[in-house]
Amino acid sequence: MSKPIFPSQEWVKALEQELNHSESYTEAGKNWEGDFYFVIEPDKDNTALPAPVYLYMDLWHGACRDAYLVTDKDAKKPAFIMSGTYSKWKRVVTKQLDPIQGLMTGQLKLKGNMVMVMKNVKAAQEMVNACTRIDAEFLS
Amino acid sequence: MHSYAGKLLCVNLTTREITSEELAREYAAQFLGGSGLAARYLYDWLDADTAPLGPDNPLVFMNGPLDGTGAPSAGRFAVCARSPQTGLWGEAIAGNFFGPELKFAGYDGIVIRGRAERLSYLHITPEGVELRDAEHLRGMTTFDTGDALRAENNDPGLVTACIGPAGENCVKFALILASSARAAAKKGIAGRCGMGAVMGSKNLKAVAVRGSKSNRMLKLELHDPARFRQAMARAQKFLSDDMSTEVFRAVGTSGTMDYLGLLGDVPVKYWTRGEFDYGKISGNLIAETILTGRGTCHACMVACGRKIQKAGEYVLPHAEGPEYETLAAFGSLMLVDDVNILSHIGAQCDALGVDSISAGSTIAFAIYLRELGLLPDADLQGARLQWSDPEGALALVEAIARRQGLGEILAEGSRALGARYGVEGLAVQVNDMEMAMHDPRAATGMAISYATSPIGASHNHSDFFMVETSGRPIYELGIETVDRFQTDGKMQFLARHQDWRGINNALVLCFFPNPPAAEICEMLSAATGFDITLDNILTFGERIWNLKRALNLKLGYRARCAEKLPELIARPLQEGGAEAHVPEFETMLREYYQTRDWDWKTGKPSRAKLNALGLNQIADNLWGEL
């Protein structure tokens, strides 16, 4: 079986499974309410990702209710949009860049309720831990 | 002098003589302003015999060359003197609107000497300067003093820097609070080093200044106004798009509590535990529950100030909510998790005029000593010393400010408290300065930042934990991302970060917004005409850092005795985000000395280093004339 490529439909479905099987995410994310677009943008100097990729995740009280790759970005109006370049996201999902650090340093951008994000840092950490459990392939 | 008022106001409280003198251009060109420039003046005026609470210790208020220019977040001011808390160089940096207002009134700074016969205040406008009686303000809180002065002068434009009862009583960690009548103004807290006690020792209750609403207000002349405006516009554009601006605006300084707590950075139970329910004392909870608005300082684009009209049953003066440091010092450090009463305690610290870091730390230390059975019943004098007891802590804040009961003992700080019971080493402090609420076990560079800071264990001379825990490098200045537990190779980045923060405290720039350093250099150069670029800016910082070290040596600083890690920080925590980690202190400190070109035995900067920084006279003073 081939490895899921980051970012792709297969990868985000794998993450959905990881989250829903993770007791630590269930606990850490128990107060989380709100769906996400994770927007992976092309790097200026790397053509491996030619266009932005939108990953939709419906996160609710420690569970991932749905997750898929979105082809029409207007299809959903999620509560949160977190965006960054492919190289930054690659560092996040391989646990080299903490997503809160990414926000604080402007490497990632967030639209949505900042308070909700800043008080659920443990959930963000467990999401990253789940990402690292996916044996993924990267574009570059 | 472009971008400077060009004058220092000189006040002798003993003789009531009020004069002004020209700002020393050669000093400004080397040390810029704020605490850098103040340190250069005070190097000439202080010596080892200067009593911190005596009339000969000059108290210096200093603004910076960007104050009043509109440069983003450059509206702060420095208060400097020999510190009664540490006996060393003392400086405290604060915001609100005092710095620019003083400049608009025509002054880059105020030098206050002597001691007034009666409690007095200084009234400064472009129309004149007067020393006025303040006996009717005796015992009044900082906030009430400012409001009373605005009311009795029928002048809502007055910006005030006041002491509370703690300053009047020369509490070692008394603060000075700047306030104004603007509803959205954030308080300005000159909290560290006991500058409020120096002011109290001079019988000076307040400095009240108005410049901006006068027909004779100073019109600042910039060297190259068009170039300045372009650089400022770029900096403003950067900040308006910057996520950290948005984070601090949304959740304030204490919004980082949950994240820093997860990393083990926030101390718990007097530095002996590593986990706490940080969400209960966090700015995020405040934002969702009691926050009613946001406060700013002059030319601020962040608005990190937390406006809280009412926290539970408590009405807060000027609706001023707490900062991160206060919530940690009276919260996790004492196992208190009620954000309403913590907000009230923070407001009481500000109102009574005590630094909440030192006050909270000293009370928490007393509780710890009580738990160890070292603090006897006889010393309690009715005080309650127990964990998770905010009312007991609140009563002690009042007792400290008034030097009553156990408060008389605690007003001397935690090292003195430890020494009283033969356990000085257990006090978490460096050079008598209680450690800020960032644990070096979670970000090891902070161990050296605290140990080598010119004022003791303060995070205001390098918040290097932001580089270590929040990945906030400044690549354009050669300050790179480092692992928070790393030992080797970190000190070059710490030294540069200290130098950069020395610039911040000279300019006088807030730490929270971080526009590109290149734009700061460009604004500074365009404003002043000084040859300042990204390539040489850190030399200014390094010069200031070494000057403050030389000044401390002149005051009797003994590096090998002073630069130590507190005993409790050398013990690993058993849980939390910093579990099992202890900084390798001496290894890092030796690397730091090599980086700085300082002499390990004496703590002196080398003659070559001082000469290279243009500090030849100071090199001769330190090493003897050649």
Q: Strand ranges (DSSP E) for B116-183?
A: 120-125, 128-133, 159-162, 176-179
A119:B244 CB<8 A: no
Whether residues A110 and B251 touch (CB distance < 8 A) is answered with no
Distance CA B470, CA B481 (A): 9
User: Shortest Cα distance from B21 to chain A (angstroms)?
Assistant: 44
Q: What is the average pLDDT value for chain A, to the nearest integer? A: 92
Residue range(s) defining the domain that contains residue A102: 5-133
Q: In this structure, what are the phi and psi dihedrals at residue B12, rounded to the nearest 5 degrees?
A: -105, 110
- State whether A115 and B284 contact (CB < 8 Å): yes
- Give Dmax (Cα) for chain B: 68
pLDDT of residue A103: 85
Sign of CA dihedral B521, B525, B527, B528: positive
What per-residue string of b and e applies to B92-111 under the rule 16 or more CB within 10 Å gives b?
Answer: bbbbbbbbbbbbbbbbbbbb
Q: B371: pLDDT confidence band, cut at 50, 70 and 90?
A: very high
CA dihedral for A105, B455, B40, B546, sign (positive or negative): negative
At B626 the pLDDT is: 78
Q: From the list B243, B258, B472, which residue is nearest A109 (CB)? A: B243
Contact at CB, A118 and B255, closer than 8 angstroms: yes
pLDDT of B244 higher than 90: no
A56-60, B244-248, B350-354, B425-429: range with lowest mean pLDDT: B244-248
Q: Which residue has the tokens 């160089």?
A: B89
Classify B461 as helix, strand or coil. coil
Nearest CB neighbour to A104, from listed B247, B262, B282:
B247
Instruction: Tell whether the model's pLDDT for residue A75 goes beyond 70.
Output: yes
Q: At what angle do helices B34-45 and B537-554 cross, to 10 degrees?
A: 30
Within-domain flag for A41: yes
**pLDDT at residue B43 greater than cutoff 70:** yes
Give the Cα separation of B328 and B288 in Å (integer): 19
Count of the separate structural domains present in chain A: 1
Would you state the structure tokens that stand for residue B523, as one six-digit string? 């604004």
Q: Which residues of B touch A120 (CB under 8 A)?
A: 258
Interface size A-B, in CB pairs within 8 Å, comes to 65
Q: Is residue A114 part of a domain?
A: yes
Of B273, B269, B263, B303, the residue nearest B465 (C-alpha): B263
Q: Where residue A120 sits, what CATH number does that domain have?
A: 3.30.1050.10
Q: How far is B284 from chain A (nearest CA, A)?
A: 5
pLDDT above 90 for B241:
no
Whether residues B259 and A109 touch (CB distance < 8 A) is answered with no
pLDDT score recorded for residue A62: 96
CB atoms within 10 A of CB B575: 12
Asked if B428 contacts B414 with a C-beta cutoff of 8 angstroms, the reply is yes
Identity of the amino acid at A83: S
In a domain, A22, yes or no: yes
Which CATH fold topology does B243-427 show? 1.10.569
Mean pLDDT of chain B: 97
- Which CATH superfamily hosts domain B7-209? Aldehyde ferredoxin oxidoreductase, N-terminal domain (3.60.9.10)
Mean pLDDT throughout B18-36?
98
| Residue from B243, B245, B265 whose CB has the most chain A CBs within 10 Å, to mutate | B243
Q: Angle at the Cα of B263 (from A106 to A30), degrees rounded to 5?
A: 85
SS3 B159: strand
DSSP assignments along B350-416, one per residue: HHHTB-HHHHHHHHHHHHHHHHTT-S-HHHHTT----TT-HHHHHHHHHHHHHT-THHHHHTT-HHH
Cβ pair B255:A122 closer than 8 A: no
The answer as to whether A19 is a domain residue is yes
How far apart are the CA of A114 and the nearest CA of chain B, in angstroms? 7
The verdict on a CB contact (< 8 Å) between B262 and A119 is no
pLDDT tens figures, B83-111: 999 999 999 999 999 999 999 999 999 99
Residues of A with CB under 8 A from a CB of B: 97-98, 100-106, 108-110, 114-115, 118-122, 125
Q: Which amino acid is at A99?
A: P
Does A13 map to a domain?
yes
Return d(Cα B227, Cα B219) in angstroms, integer: 18
Distance of alpha carbon A73 from alpha carbon A81, whole angstroms:
11
Work out the number of other CB atoms within 10 angstroms of the CB of residue B139.
14
Q: CA end-to-end span of chain A, whole Å?
A: 20
Q: Is the pLDDT of residue A140 over 80?
A: no
**CA separation for the pair B71, B508 (Å, rounded):** 10
pLDDT class of B611 with cuts at 50, 70, 90? very high
CB contact under 8 A, A104 and B470: yes
**Which residue of A98, A110, A122 is in closest CB contact with B243?**
A110
Q: How many CB atoms lie within 10 A of CB A128?
A: 18
Chain A residue numbers touching B243 (CB-CB < 8 A):
103-106, 108-110
Please give the pLDDT value at position A1.
67
Burial class (CB in 10 A: 0-12, 13-18, 19+), B76: buried
Name every chain A residue with its beta carbon within 8 A of the beta carbon of B471: 97-98, 101-102, 104-105
In this structure, what DSSP letter does residue B405 have? T
Indicate yes or no: CB of A105 within 8 angstroms of CB of B282. Answer: no
**B243 closest CB neighbour out of A106, A122, A125:** A106
The ranges of chain B annotated as CATH 1.10.569.10 are: 243-427
Whether B460 shows a pLDDT value over 90: the answer reads yes
On whether the CB atoms of residues B458 and B438 are closer than 8 A, the answer is no
**If you measure CA to CA, which chain B residue comes closest to A109?**
B243
**Entry pTM:** 0.95
Q: Name the strand (E) or helix (H) holding B228.
A: helix B225-241
Instruction: CATH 1.10.599.10 in chain B: give the residue spans.
Output: 445-513+535-623
Please give the ipTM for the structure prediction. 0.85
Which helix (H) or strand (E) segment is B80 a member of? strand B77-82
Distance CA B2, CA B220 (A): 8
Residue B163: pLDDT band with limits 50, 70, 90: very high
Return the CATH number of the domain spanning residue range B445-513+535-623. 1.10.599.10
Q: Considering CB atoms only, which of B250, B285, B473 is closest to A114?
A: B250
Give the distance from residue A30's alpha carbon to the nearest chain B alpha carbon, in angstroms: 14
* pLDDT of A102 over the 90 cut: no
Q: Please tell me the least confidently modeled range out of A98-107, B191-200, B457-466.
A: A98-107
Number of Cβ within a 10 Å radius of residue B626: 7
Task: Name every chain A residue with its beta carbon within 8 A of the beta carbon of B262.
Answer: 121-122, 125
Q: Which residues of B touch A102 (CB under 8 A)?
A: 471
Of A98, A110, A121, the CB nearest to B471: A98
Q: How far is B304 from chain A (nearest CA, A)?
A: 14
A57 falls in which pLDDT band (50, 70, 90)? Answer: very high
Task: Please answer yes or no on whether B284 and A125 come within 8 Å at the CB atom.
Answer: no
Task: Note whether residue A92 is domain-resident.
Answer: yes
What are B's interface residues with A at a Cβ cutoff of 8 A?
Answer: 242-244, 246-247, 250-251, 255-256, 258-259, 262, 279, 282-285, 287-288, 469-473
